[in-house]
Each structure stands twice: as structure tokens, then as C-alpha cells.
Chain A
Amino acid sequence: MARKLLLEHINVPGINTLDVYRQKGGYRAVEKALKTLTPDEVVEEVKKSGLRGRGGAGFPTGMKWSFLAKPEGVARYLVCNADESEPGTFKDRYLMTHIPHALIEGMIVSSFALGAKTSYIYVRGEMMPQIRILEKAIAEAKAAGWLGKNILGSGYDLELYVQPGGGAYICGEETALLESLEGKRGNPRIKPPFPAIAGLYGCPTVVNNVESIAAVVPIINDGGDEYAKIGIGRSTGTKLISASGNLVRPGVYEIELGLPVEEFIYSDEWCGGIANGKRLKATVAGGSSVPVLPANLTLKLANGDPRLMSYESLSEGGFATGTMMGSGGFIAFDEDQCMVRNTWNFSRFYHHESCGQCSPCREGTGWMEKVLHRLEYGHGKMSDIDLLVDVSKKIEGNTICPLGDAAAWPVASAIRHFRDEFEWHVKEPVKSLDTNYGLANYADPIAKAVTTEN
């Protein structure tokens, strides 16, 4: 069995209550940090752990913390990003529903490390049940003295609040989240200044994903060095993977980074293979924003070696043959799925969610949605395919925030790997309405790359 750090006690009855969580060793990290460590020592442990931000960007958490400005007399804030909106990702919902104190404990330790006296958990508004769960857990923790004034007699004070969002994917971007928390539209800010210098209310602020903050608990309990022993290379520790789509057992899994992708999909310990005896056609490995890969490149690198669930292995080969870890939203497509239809669906999503500040994204996402719609519904032209590539290139890199890139990559990668299927939609406008292109050669072994020297 693989090692579990976050979900070890997930099936213990009553683990959502303070009493049971405490019986299972909960809040030890708060005791250890507040009684035996200085804030800087906590930051040092997190640095040593090699923990990388679990929200999608994969930026080292300890390094992010060390950038926080600490001017005298100015409040500092820790804001937890629980906006979880990336299609394919639902791990934070799972963690907050079943083991809310893991997040609260992580928030206390992390706030202590950063010197924040008030911290917020920004939860997407649709997760009202999880907001109620967190509010109840915070009240329990406060009544037991884990929050409030002079926690454990250490002299450290902390208030923790839950803030609901209003339904906007863009608020998962950290500066849009801060705007939203200030009661405004979720328009991302121009950086610099980064939140570490000027964040919430213009004060130095750290924004971290739910899973990153929860991971601080085992890092403090066992030490950063121990955490860094798990995983592979610069992908240390465990990662929550949200598995969805045509799988026998979709759900949330905690894996040790470095697990082969093939094992994750087909082993009975994990997803148990493709549902209904079908074959795998494609995957989106890290949430809808990352490049889609055909089955063969999902399981193997271009050189034929197995692909692993790690930041490095998933991105091996760049965008030509690789993808990204992202937020760990693993979506599997079986042989009956239409890549054109799915790409159109994702494009509609990004068009709907664009905040409208930058014209390449505001206009470009709409164009991509329209062009993909006509390809899917039998009115496409062959030139539309290159038109889509052209539009996606003009969005990518030309916007304030990464939503533009996130909208461009799924389209560009779908055409890169499934161009035959797009062309078939143009050639067979009637047939493609009620028939699917099928598996084609997308699961075939990869032909040895021929490199020519010139």
C-alpha cells in the first residue's frame, strides 16, 4: 500500500470532529510549531520538504513564503485558495468535506510561520456545504483554544474566517481571488507588485492552495527532510489526484509522486481501468487547462519509457509530446469520446469564465468557441483548423493572467494530437453528427522518432 499523509485517517468515523481528529494525532503540528519552533524554523522545514504548490503552478511553497515582505507595523495575511474550479479537479472539496481540521491545523501552523494574525479561507460559493463544515470546525477549534488569543500560551493570536466566492473560475487566480475577497469583481491584477509585497488590502499576503496548506501538517510533524524522501526527484511528497471521466473507479486518490501513469489508470488499487470494458483514447492529466494527450503518449514518453505521475515526467517532451501536472485533475476519455466536442466544451468554459479585461482572451476565447462549434456541428471548413491554431497562439502569453494560456493550450494540443479527427469532421459533416471517429491509432505504440542531423 502506498503511503498516505493527508488521507491516512479519511475513513475513520467522526474524523470530521475535533475529538476524533485529535485522537488520531491531530493538532500535534500546532503544538510542535508554537511550543518548540520559531516562525523562521517552520518556513525552513517547508523549504527543506521541497513541497510545490498543489493548486496548479507547482511553485515551491517554502520559497513563496520566504518572499513575503515584513515591514514593521503592517499586517500580513495568509489566504487559502479553496476556489477549486479547474474542470477535472475536486480534491479540495473532498479534503474539506471529510477532514476539515487538516486544513485548519495547516492554516494555524502556516499563519504562525508567516506572522499573520488574521487569515481567510476563500471557498468557492457553490461549496456552501463545505463552508458550513469549515465554519463548524473553526468554532470547535476556537472553543478548544487552538484559535483566538494567546494560543497554547505562546503569545500568538490568530483569527480564521471563511469567505464564500460568487461563482467565477477566474477567482482561482491569486490576484483575482484577492480582488474578490475585497468585495470586487474578480479581475486579476497586473504584477508586479506580487501579493507577497502588496496583496490583500495592499498588505503583504501569501495565497496557498488547500492541499499545500494541509501538507504543512505532516511536514512539521515528521520534518521537511522526511517529507522530501517521499516521491521522485524534485517532485517530493504525496499528491491528491482527482480522477474523473470514463474510469471504473473515479474519485480522489493520494499517490506518492512517481507512480507510473499506467499503474494509476489500470491497477485495482487506483482507478481500476477504463469503464465498461472500453479502451483508453486520451487523457487530460492535470485539469482542463493542460495539454490533452492521446493514450499512447499518456502511458509512455516519446522514447518509450513509462510516463510517471510527477511534475517532471508529465511535462517530459514539452508541449510536443508532454503535458503538465497542473492541479492533478486526471480526466480519462474512452474510445467513444469525440475530441472535437470535448475541445468545444472546454472552449465554451473558458469563454464563459474569461473576466474580459484583456482583449486577446475576451475575444479569442469566443472565436475559438464559435469555430469549434461549427466544426462539431458539421459547418466547418478545413481552414478552420489552422485558424484555431492561429487564434490560440495569439492568446497565449498575451494576457495579464494565465487564463488565456489555459484557454489556448487545450485547443492547440487537441489539434496537435488529434488533427485527423478534426479533418474528419470537415470531410464528413453529416456522418460526424451521430458517429464518432473512434480510437483510430491513438493507442498504437509510438513510432520511433527519426532525427535527422543537418
Chain B
Amino acid sequence: MLKVEEKQPVVFSAALLAKCDEIVKRYPEGKQKSALLPILHEVQAELGWLSASAMDQVADYLDIQDIEVYEVASFYSMYFLKPQGKFVLEVCRTGPCCLVGAEKLMNHIEHKLGVKENEVTADGLFSWRGVECLAACGYGPVLQIGPEYTFYENLNEQKVDELIEDLRKK
């Protein structure tokens, strides 16, 4: 559920705005709203999540109503409407991955990080959640980490432990 809690102003970087300008050119004149999903991905990559202020700014940029951005951001599962850990481990929890141990792996991650699904670790580094099918069923269990959605395949507990240690050092 979308809650408009804070209105702290956010500033888009020049690089982000340049990227937005480039994206809008892909569509016919007057159809700039088509740029909404790609632009929200860019904003989230820069800011880590989509605050109400960030979404309002996107609405201004595309010359559409604020609600048109909110309704889209809250519909699609990839957009974060709350702050997340620096690294969000998204584990596939759909049928084929469960046949090869995804549920056990999620229990392991919960135990390892010491936080429940959708919670952030005290150091702000990690959060995790189960997500639906990531179209990598033959290589399960799998997890992805944004904003570039790097894929980690054929996972087991040891590989996940190593991944978490590597991310800590970044």
C-alpha cells in the first residue's frame, strides 16, 4: 500500500536527467508517458527507492498527474516504495525453484542476515524478499540483486554465504 509519508525534496543528478531526456526520444511526439517505467527504474537506481517527492518530480518531468506515477509505481513489483538495504537479495520462490530448494535457501538467508522478509539489517546493507518467477527455472535456486539485476544461479547455502561476504566488502 502506498503511503505518502514524507515530502523531503530530492534532487535528480544531471546524469539522470540526461538519461531521461534520451529515453523520452524513443516515443512519438506527445506519447512521453511511455517513458514512465524506464525512468522510474533510473530514478530507483540512483536513489535506492521511490519516495513521493521523487515520483512527483517524475510526474512534473513527464507533464502527467502525480497519481499516474503513483498508480504505476504501486502496481509493478520491482519499484520500492520504502527505503531498502543497499543490497536487496530477491530470491525466486515460484514452483520450479522450490522443486530444487528455494524455500530452504530463503530460510537460510533469513537466519544469516537476522532480518525477516522486507526488513533492513541494522547496518543498512541488506534486505531480502521472495519474488515470483524470474524466468531462470532451469538454473534454480536463483536470486537477483538490483539495480542492474545481476543474477546468481544454481545456489546453495555455501554460495549464498560467500555472496553475502563479498557484498559486505564492497
List the interface of chain A (C-beta within 8 A of B): 75, 84-90, 92-93, 118, 120, 124-129, 132, 161, 163-169, 180-186, 201, 242-246, 250-252, 284, 288, 329, 331, 333, 337, 341-342, 345-346, 349, 352-353, 355
Contact = CB atoms under 8 A, between A and B. Distances in A.
B138 A251 contact: yes
B137 A252 contact: no
Interface stretch (B7-15, B26-34, B108-116): B26-34
B155 interface: no
B137 A88 contact: yes
A172 B94 CA distance: 17
B148 A183 contact: no
B75 A345 contact: no
24 contacts: A85-B135, A87-B94, A87-B95, A93-B135, A125-B41, A126-B78, A128-B147, A164-B38, A166-B77, A168-B75, A180-B37, A183-B35, A183-B36, A183-B68, A185-B72, A244-B99, A244-B137, A244-B138, A246-B100, A288-B95, A331-B99, A331-B137, A345-B93, A349-B132
A174 B110 CA distance: 37
B98 A345 contact: yes
B135 A182 contact: no
Interface string B116-153: 00000000000000011111111110001011111100
B106 interface: no
Given A86-B133, A349-B94, A245 B37 contact: no
Nearest to A118: B28
A267 to B, nearest CB: 17
A166 B78 contact: yes
B155 to A, nearest CB: 14
Interface SS of chain A: mixed
A256 B98 CA distance: 30
Given A183-B37, A245-B100, A352-B132, A89 B75 contact: no
Contacts of A128: 41, 146-149
Contact of B138 (A183, A252, A353): A252
Contacts of A125: 37, 41, 76, 78, 149
A337 B77 CA distance: 29
Contacts of A118: 28
10 nearest A-B residue pairs (beta carbon)? A166-B76, A167-B78, A244-B137, A183-B36, A183-B33, A167-B77, A250-B138, A128-B149, A87-B133, A185-B75
Given A331-B95, A331-B99, A183 B34 contact: yes
Contact of B151 (A129, A168, A180, A251): A129
Contacts of A355: 75
B71 interface: yes
B6 to A, nearest CB: 23
Nearest to A92: B135
A127 B135 CA distance: 9
B96 interface: yes
Given A126-B149, A167-B78, A90 B95 contact: no
Contacts of A250: 137-139
B103 to A, nearest CB: 9
B79 A166 contact: yes
Interface residues of B, number: 45
B94 to A, nearest CB: 5
A181 B34 contact: yes
Given A88-B137, A165-B76, A346 B34 contact: no
Contacts of B78: 125-126, 166-167
Nearest to B26: A161
Contacts of B144: 126
B147 to A, nearest CB: 8
B55 interface: no
Contacts of A201: 28, 31
Nearest to B36: A183
B96 A244 contact: yes
Nearest to B28: A201
Residue of A167, A181, A329, A349 most packed against chain B (CB within 10 A) = A167
Contacts of A166: 37, 40-41, 72, 75-79
A341 B93 CA distance: 12
A92 B134 CA distance: 12
Nearest to A251: B138
Contacts of A164: 37-38, 41
B95 A342 contact: yes
Contacts of A126: 78, 131, 134-135, 144, 149
Contacts of B79: 166-167
B34 A182 contact: yes
Contacts of B98: 341-342, 345
A184 B64 CA distance: 12
B120 to A, nearest CB: 20
Given A126-B149, A165-B37, A75 B95 contact: no
B56 to A, nearest CB: 16
Contacts of A288: 94-95, 133
A242 B138 contact: yes
A92 B139 CA distance: 14
A346 B64 CA distance: 37
A314 B11 CA distance: 56
